Amino acid sequence: MTVSVLLMLIIIIPVMILTVVFAWKYRKGANARYEPDWDHSTKLELVIWGAPLLIIIALGLITWISTHKLDPYRPLDRIDANRPITAEHKVLEVQVVSLDWKWLFIYPEQGIATVNELVTPIDTPIRFKMTSSTVMNTFYIPTLAGMIYTMPGMETTLNAVINKAGDYKGLSANFSGDGFSHMHFAYRGVSATDFDAWVAKAKASGNTLGRAEYLTLEKPSEKEPVRHYGSVQPALFNAILNRCVAEGAVCANHQMASDMTRLRNDVALKNLPAETRRQVAANAALGATTEVCETPTNSVKK
């Protein structure tokens, strides 16, 4: 902000001064030199166009650098303006799921989960991994960082840090249905000692968040109270992300991998000689498992 103001003043101050100078110099009766045929000055043109051009280049450079520093996917390189991140600063991962109409926070390293309450230690890098169970939402803590979308079947990331202990408010800023106006959560920045005590309290709750419990929690509800889970089923967030929490559901990432394998085999099959393609088709008709090997000899492994 200060740099931008200084750059603007480089133009504004000379213009204001020259306005007064020209008005005084060319006032009536000042006997100023009269040049009715004057129409060009290279030096003046360089000043008129050069100074604004340099300012635009400087502002563009500042904007480019600042924009990339604000990239939510970019890992933090400092705790605050004066303290860089060192090996002593361990990143805290929090997995965030936006539900109808509540928030689920999973702490994979601590093995706990909460509903509508987020607690993190101050001066600790935080990496949020976010997704949604149904419609698109936005994860927004005005005190902490910018607004990031959560989308079903997709993972978004936010790297952030809180430097001041206190009680803050988080919310969704994207309309998502009837309970949207109540889709708030409490956010607290605490000391490392208080965070450990809070984790211990959550573990002592005795509640378990497994797939069955999640499917119940996922059902639309409003004004959900704060809830703690002392243990979380491993890889639950990945199941939510890939939309395969329910028993028997095919995970999206597995389905995509299967589709890609089939596509590669189809492409490789088209490049085989006609006789080999007929052989592969015959084996497939007999129920044999045929894998096309993409080798220089176009061999077929049965």
Q: Of 108, 147, 155, 167, nearest to 129 (Cα)? A: 155
Which of 262, 273, 267 minimizes the C-alpha distance to 299?
273
Q: Which three-class secondary structure state does DSSP give residue 243?
A: coil
Provide the H-helix boundaries in the chain: 2-25, 42-69, 192-203, 211-217, 236-241, 252-270, 274-285
Alpha carbons 77 and 82: distance in angstroms, whole number: 11
Q: Which pLDDT belongs to residue 228?
A: 97
Task: Kindly report each contact of residues 90-93 with a partner whose C-beta sits within 8 Å and lies 24 or more positions away, as own/partner.
Answer: 90/124, 90/125, 91/124, 91/125, 91/126, 91/127, 92/120, 92/121, 92/124, 92/125, 92/126, 92/127, 93/126, 93/127, 93/129
Q: How far apart (Å, rounded) are the C-alpha atoms in residues 240 and 252?
A: 10
Q: Measure the CA–CA gap between 19 and 102, rounded to whole angstroms.
A: 61
Q: Strand 117-121 and strand 184-190: pairing? A: parallel
pLDDT at 294: 45
pLDDT computed for residue 90 by the predictor: 93
Strand partners, 138: 149
Structural domains of the chain sorted by starting position, each given as residue range(s) with its CATH number in brackets:
92-241 (2.60.40.420), 252-301 (no CATH)
Q: Give pLDDT, residue 1.
A: 59
Chunked into runs of 10 residues, the chain (302 residues) has average pLDDT values of: 77 88 82 79 86 86 86 88 89 97 97 97 96 94 91 95 95 90 95 96 94 95 95 95 92 87 79 72 62 44 40
CA 106 to chain centre: 17
| Cα separation, 113 vs 79, whole angstroms | 25
Alpha helices in 26-183 (DSSP H): 42-69
Assigned token pair, 268: 């490789």
Residue with tokens 């008005």: 23
Rg of the chain (C-alpha set): 31
Structure tokens at 288: 């044999």
How confident is the model at residue 154, as a pLDDT? 95
The pLDDT, as a whole number, for residue 296 is 45
